[in-house]
Amino acid sequence: MRATYFLPRDLHPAAWWLWALGLAVAASRTTNPWLLLTIIAVAGYVVAARRGAAPWALAFRMYLYLAGCIVCLRVFFRLVFGGAEGTTILLRLPEIPLPAWAAGIRLFGAVSAESLLGGLYDGLRLAAVVVCLGAANALANPKRLLKAMPPALYEMGTAVVVALSVFPQLAESVLRVRRARKLRGGANHRRLRALHAIVIPVLEDALDRSLRLAASMDSRGYGRAALVRPRQRVATGVLMVLGLIGVCVGGYATLDGSTPRLLAGPVLVLGVVVGLLGFHLAGRRVQRTRYRPDRWRPPEVVVVLSGVGVAVTLFATSTVDPTNLNPSLLTLSWPALSWPPLVGVLLGVLPAWLSPPPAPPHAGAGHDAEEVSA
Amino acid sequence: MIELRQVTFWYHGQPEPVLSDVNLSIGEGELVLVAGRTGAGKSTLLGTVNGLVPHFTGGHLDGAVAVAGVLTRSRPPREFAHLVGVVGQDPLAGFVTDTVEEELAYGMEQLGLPPQVMRRRVEETLDLLGIADLRRRALRGLSGGQQQRVAIGSVLTTHPRVLVLDEPTSALDPTAAEDVLATLARLVQDLGTTVLMAEHRMERVVPFADRVVYVAGGGRVVDGSPSAMLRDMPVAPPIVELGRLAGWEPLPLSVRDARRLAAGLRADLGAPPPRPVPTGETLLTSSDVVVRYGATVAVRGVDLDLHAGTVLALMGRNGSGKSSLLWALQGSGPRQGGTVRVGGVDPGQRSSAQARTLVGLVPQTASDLLYLETVADECAAADAESGAATGTCRTLLDRLAPGIDPARHPRDLSEGQRLALVLAVQLAAAPRVVLLDEPTRGLDYTAKHALAGMIRTLTGEGRAVVVATHDVEFVAAVADRVVVMAEGEVVSDGPTAEVLGGSPAFAPQVAKVLGADWLTVEDVRTALAEVAR
Amino acid sequence: MSRARGGSGRVVRLGPRSALVLAFASLAGLMMFVWPLLVRVEPQSMQHGPDAPFVFVAILPVLILIVLAELSEGGMDAKALALLGVLSAVNAALRPLGAGVAGIETVFFLLVLAGRVFGAGFGFVLGCTSLFASALLTAGVGPWLPFQMLSSAWIGMGAGLLPRRVTGKAEIAMLVGYGIVVAYLFGFLMNLWFWPFITGAEVDYHDGHISYVPGAPVLDNLRRFAVFTLLTSTAGWDTGRAITNTAAILVLGPAVLATLRRAARRASHGLLPTFGDAGPASARSARPRRGADAPTCARTGNGMARTVNDRTANARQHEVGQPIRGQRSNYQGDS
């Protein structure tokens, strides 16, 4: 067991997602900039340590940019639309009143430090959540994730698998048709006309392909169904409909504070559970096995536990000391940081050492991967 | 194993049946070759075996088709997945997943086999087909031959009792085709699976076929032993035609057999007919052409002159720079160095509308150029694009392939007709140089014959034609001059007989039998006529 | 009416039960989009306001899972599935061809046309798979994904529910109108659920004029939101999307519709095969299509499979079952 623990392999994608969601939930509990920056650093460090060479791993940078944009946007909004709450006025911009239909709304005006800081903290929180999701996208192999689809979504999963494998071929076909367009003197046409000459052949190509693919799938046994008794089908339908009604009622009650609380949380949860039961039952009809499925092994458990651990500590400490997690903005002060939540957040960095490194890329696979991203 | 009893089949809306009263009984372990023209109903016949016809295609089926005693009418095709494995023409179009290993396992996953069994069978199949080193590769990055081998492997993993192959090599170049056929030959010996196979390279399959089924068109299907069937089938490989011409008995089915019988004929023939190399005016001169894609050099300093009234064949393996050279000559493709002159003008410097009046190019996937809904619309658009008089394109089309219904959708045309349409569209701009990139891919003997006719029409009008192709027999029939490329360079250049006859790789079948001076059956026929006179 | 329904439900069958599930899920889903406008909080239960968005972000994926499971439970054959996969890939492949300002527009244009041709059920599923595949390709999976998926699914479904009888120029005009409406609606919905997150809702020390106020009267919040969305996206993204939709449907619409319809005809969706007797004599007499029957068969009309089946005289020959049910259930007896 110990010998195989650190052998290079791709971790179960769901493990990375659960870890990242744990971090994201933790981030959504606090506005303390130190904690949020620690969470971002933890996510970034684990990604740097454990991502492969695949294209989705390279997307992490985009998420960092996105996070930066969110922070800037949030502060910018405070600057433009009323940032006057608080006493420490930093600068006064000329105020622009808007027409009557937007009564009550003004642009620019006085900007206070409290307001800007509030925007910064909020933005940072959202940015931390986005970075956590980026980490999951970078670490989890989306194709393996598709393989782990629940049986009830077998058809949908297959459709997406088909889309992913056909996509690069179509991208090629677009390039090819574009090039061929020149042979008919295509450059002279207006842009939209040229689009016509590209879209139609590509679409025809794709539709032809879909028919051939369907024939191939049909003759290779796609959609062999287990025997489903009518009673079971009825049960599936009833469970799904009841569950959805529960979600509707529960959701409405959650929003409308005047309805009894019993209708809100419990009914919502019950609806989801019943619906998922129907979902599970619907999966019974699919009778097929998986080739080399991803299994849950100790490293997966460790990764998930570390993510859950982060979320749990932040929930626990928030009841103890809320001021540390959400620094006060009523009086401007340097945000304080206490040890328990910080240690909790640092739990999240464990996968950087306690998970196996990713499998090395295979000859040819890397090349393919680059084209997909292009 | 396979039983067809009084099978008659109509597609929806077709007044005439594609198959009519077909009776066929194929025993366990037999290898049956299905022959016939494109469009005669070969694919339909093969489709009936696992029920794709009519469950998938729709239509009306009379009679009964049974595989291992199970009637196809009683179950959908998916319930035949463990009995019948089907391999189509274009392997890439049939792949569901994107890596070799997963594709091999896909069929077994559908059947719900236990994981250990799947793992074992995948490993066995990888070895059986010699593709173990490709196991994690992306399917798209494989060569055509490798892809087709994976496609065969992916149906073998379910251990079917019948293997149905519908022209498995028609979209491949000759090397890949050889590769696939050699693999199949070995499989048939080793596994003893019943095989039903349509294949236009008949000479490669006939030696080990137990039976030939000929789909004659009009719904008729005839079957018999290979030598009996080949005697009077209209579609036949050159070697059989040569045998028929010489009246050899028994009819030779392989080059080896034929060579043993050929001594007499060789003595009769005398001197080979002279092949005049026409030398018209020079229409295109190019020198030192270089094409690069980043660090990869596709064409490495090629000089090429094209003369009016001649056909030049450009040969060489895939990736040897043929296509890049053609695109560079036309002016639409990239060119990093060298000069191209057509009548003193460089087409690469002109707008694409002007370039196509100098040089016309029909790309490998000709249908990329077609985007309208009817043949008539395409022709009208071509006239407008070229500034030609209305009806020019249609007239050209009628000369190349008469009788195409103007209201038909271009995608519904046969491969050969579509090629003619694209050629007509390009010719509407009246270029004197015409370049054809892989025009023979997917064409059967009849369509190739028609294409050769079209090319002769073009040279007759004083145009220079370049054909990039792998098809040796086709080159032997049409080309005046052959240029062979390798790694972006010209490795041999000369009259067809000189280049083809002397090369073991490029020699046509007739040359293999009668010697380097004889390239086609047609040559022999004229020579015999000469001698008789 | 039944003709229209038969036609639209051809590729992905949308029976009454699926429609019911779809309706409830859409209702619940819509609630999760417009929750900022619906929230009515009692002063003492203030903490429920801030929790709602996170709960909804968690529940929406479950809703989508259930709907998709129900739609495929009714039976989806290989043809529909391959079409779905390939069209999703086309959507993803056409994205780089878009005007370059905003990536998503070209996805909508094909989605609307495909929904129109292949029906509401197919449109719904295509909306989901297109966005999902595209998110996987660009590593863009996140809480926004279910919202994008559901709203584009509605767009595809809506296109399938437009009146069937409209043809020719009127059809294009109708689709253009629909394209413009959905372009703005999509922007509106996507802004709405995210609005409180981006402007900050639950923070009590801030009271910006475009930000969300939990529990405020619907009209008040709506006005705040209108200003927010007008200022941030209506002029740029939404209008850009509307223009691309209009232009694409006007220029490419007729040709793409024709291409898709041709594909539908060739794939003969919903046409079940028919079988005759093994005996040659009865095969001749039961043979349904010759001469006058041929044109009927060439038309891939609604309810045509029924026509053919009815004409195949002997009822005992219909081993494959009745034409209306999905294929899967027909074979259950055999498997």
pLDDT of residue C322: 33
Residue of chain A minimizing CA distance to B359? A183
Q: Are strands B282-293 and B337-342 parallel, antiparallel or unpaired?
A: antiparallel
Judge whether B75 is closer than 8 Å to chain C, CB to CB.
yes
What fold characterizes domain B2-233?
A: Rossmann fold (3.40.50)
Burial of residue A215, with CB atoms counted within 10 A of its CB: 0-12 exposed, 13-18 middle, 19 or more buried: buried
Among the partner residues A114, A126, A258, nearest to C42 by beta-carbon distance: A258
**CB distance C276–B54 less than 8 Å?**
no
Mind telling me how many Å the CA of A301 is from chain C's nearest CA?
Answer: 22
Q: Do C125 and A258 touch (CB under 8 A)?
A: no
- Would you give the DSSP letter of residue B435? E
Q: Within an 8 Å CB–CB cutoff, is residue B158 touching chain A?
A: yes
CB contact under 8 A, C140 and A137: yes
pLDDT of residue C204: 39
The least confident of A73-77, B73-77, B485-489, C73-77 is C73-77
Give A-chain residues touching B86 at CB under 8 angstroms: 215-216, 219-220
Instruction: Out of A32-36, A318-322, B161-165, C143-147, pick the least confident.
Output: A318-322
Higher per-residue pLDDT: B145 or C96 = B145
Q: Residues with Cβ < 8 Å from C20, sequence gap 6 or more?
A: A241
> What is the predicted pLDDT for the residue at A186?
64
Residue of C nearest to A249 (CA): C28
| Inter-chain residue contact B62 with C290, CB threshold 8 Å | no
pLDDT over 50 (residue C76): yes
What's the confidence (pLDDT) of residue B178? 81
Q: List the domain boundaries for chain C.
A: 2-267, 280-330
Q: Work out the mean pLDDT of chain B and round it to a whole number.
A: 87
Helix segments in chain A, DSSP class H: 2-5, 13-28, 33-50, 55-58, 60-80, 113-139, 142-147, 154-183, 191-219, 230-255, 261-282, 298-320, 322-325, 339-346, 351-354, 365-373
Give residue C44's pLDDT: 42
The pLDDT value given to residue B417: 85
According to CATH, the topology of domain B282-501 is Rossmann fold (3.40.50)
**Contact state of A196 with C39 under an 8 Å Cβ cutoff:** no
Question: What is the pLDDT at residue C213?
Answer: 64
Do the two domains B2-233 and B282-501 of this chain adopt the same fold?
yes
Q: Could you tell me the end-to-end alpha-carbon distance of chain A, in angstroms, rounded to an integer?
A: 40
Contact A102 C78 (CB under 8 A): no
ipTM over 0.85: yes
Query: In this structure, are strands B84-87 and B162-166 parallel, antiparallel, or unpaired?
Result: parallel
Residues of A in contact with C130 (CB under 8 A): 163
Q: Which of A220, A227, A367 to substitute to test the interface with B, most B CBs within 10 Å?
A: A220
Given a cut of 90, whether residue C41 has pLDDT beyond it is no
Q: Please report which confidence band the pLDDT of residue C216 belongs to, taking 50, 70 and 90 as the band edges.
A: low
Query: B423 and chain A: CB distance < 8 Å anywhere?
Result: no
Q: Do B13 and C278 touch (CB under 8 A)?
A: no
| pLDDT at position B78 over 80 | yes
Instruction: Give me the residue from C268, C274, C319 closest to B74, CB to CB.
Output: C319
- Residues in CB range of A303: below 8 A, 6 or more apart: A11, A15, A16, A18, A19, A351, A354, A355
Amino acid of residue B350: R
Exposed/middle/buried for residue C280 (C-beta within 10 Å: 0-12, 13-18, 19+): middle
Can you give the pLDDT of all 374 residues of chain A as single tens digits? 567 888 888 888 889 989 998 998 888 878 888 889 999 999 999 998 888 777 777 778 888 888 898 888 878 877 776 555 666 777 777 777 666 555 455 566 777 777 788 788 878 888 898 899 889 888 888 888 888 888 888 888 888 888 888 888 887 888 888 888 888 876 555 566 677 788 888 888 888 888 889 999 988 888 777 667 788 888 888 888 898 888 888 877 777 766 676 777 788 888 889 888 888 888 877 777 888 888 888 899 999 999 999 988 888 876 666 666 666 666 666 777 778 888 888 888 888 888 888 887 664 443 443 333 33
Q: Are B347 and B360 in contact (CB under 8 A)?
A: no
* CA distance to partner chain C, nearest, from residue A40 (Å): 16
Cα gap A301→A297, rounded to integer Å:
7
Spell out which residues of chain A touch residue B330, defining contact as CB-CB under 8 Å.
183
CA-only gyration radius of chain C, Å: 24
Q: Among C24, C70, C331, whose Cβ lies nearest the Cβ of A282?
A: C70
For A189, nearest residue in chain B (alpha carbons): B385
Q: Which of B6, B14, B409 sits opposite C278 (nearest CB)?
A: B6
Task: Report the C-alpha gap between B70 and B63 in whole angstroms.
Answer: 14
**Which residues of B fall within a CB distance of 8 Å from A185?**
351-353, 355-356, 385-386, 429
CB contact under 8 A, A196 and C251: yes
Chain B residue numbers with beta carbons less than 8 Å from the beta carbon of A158 are 96
Across chain C, the runs of DSSP E, i.e. the strands, are 274-275
CB contact under 8 A, B112 and A212: no
pLDDT of residue C99: 38
Using CA coordinates, name the residue in chain C closest to A372.
Answer: C137
d(CA C163, CA C165): 6
Contact A219 B77 (CB under 8 A): yes
Inter-helix orientation angle C218-229/C168-199, to 10°: 100
Question: Inter-chain contact C69–A153, Cβ cutoff 8 Å?
Answer: yes
For residue B250, cis peptide bond before it (omega within 30 degrees of 0): yes
Neighbours of chain A (3+ CB pairs under 8 A): B, C
Confidence of residue C156 (pLDDT cuts 50, 70, 90): very high
In this structure, are residues C274 and C308 in contact, taking their beta carbons and an 8 Å threshold?
yes
Comparing alpha-carbon positions, the chain B residue that sits nearest to C296 is B13
Name the C residues in 297-326 with CB < 8 Å from any B CB: 297-299, 308, 312, 319-320
Phi, psi of A197 (to 5 degrees): -70, -15
What is the chain B residue with the closest CA to A222?
B110
Contact A292 B105 (CB under 8 A): yes
pLDDT at position C53: 66
Nearest residue in B to A174, CA atom: B368
Pairing of strands B31-35, B211-217: parallel
Q: Cα angle at A129 between A127 and A133, to 5 degrees?
A: 115
What does the H/E/C string look like for A277-299? HHHHHHHHHECCCCCCCCCCCHH
**Nearest Cβ partner of B373 from C258, C277, C297?**
C258
| Interface size between A and C, measured as CB pairs under 8 A | 307
Domain boundaries, chain B: 2-233, 282-501
- Nearest neighbour of B114 by CB, restricted to A289, A363, A364: A289
Percent with pLDDT over 90 in chain B: 20
Q: Do C143 and A243 touch (CB under 8 A)?
A: no
pLDDT, average across residues B74-97: 88
- Whether pLDDT at C274 is above 50: yes
DSSP B117-144: HHHHHHHHHHHHTT-GGGTTSBGGGS-H
Residue of B nearest to C297 (CA): B13
Residue B434: what pLDDT? 92
Query: Does C247 reach chain B within 8 Å, measured CB to CB?
Result: no
* Per-residue confidence (pLDDT) for residue A148, from 0 to 100: 80
Q: How far is B367 from chain A (nearest CA, A)?
A: 7
Q: Which of B119, B360, B368 sits opposite A201 (nearest CB)?
A: B368
pLDDT at C331 (0 to 100): 35
Which of C77, C251, C274 would you mutate first to test chain B, the one with the most B CBs within 10 A?
Answer: C274
Beta bridge partners of C130: none
Q: Among C273, C287, C335, whose Cβ lies nearest the Cβ of B55?
A: C273
What's the pLDDT at C113?
92
Say which range, B137-146, B277-286, B288-297, C135-144, has the weakest mean pLDDT. C135-144
| Amino acid type, B302 | V
Q: Do B81 and A204 touch (CB under 8 A)?
A: no
Segment of A310-319, C50-59, C257-266, C295-304 carrying the highest mean pLDDT: C257-266
Helix (H, G, I), strand (E, B) or coil at B250: coil
Q: Which two tokens stand for residue C87?
A: 């069209």
Compute how many other C-beta atoms are within 10 angstroms of the C-beta atom of residue B9.
27
Of B5, B13, B73, the CB nearest to C319: B73
HSE-up (13 A, CA, CB side) for residue C111: 32
Dump the DSSP string for A14-33: HHHHHHHHHHHHHHHT---H
Task: Report chain C residues whose CB lies below 8 A from the CB of A223.
Answer: 76-78, 328
Tokens at C23, concatenated:
């309706």
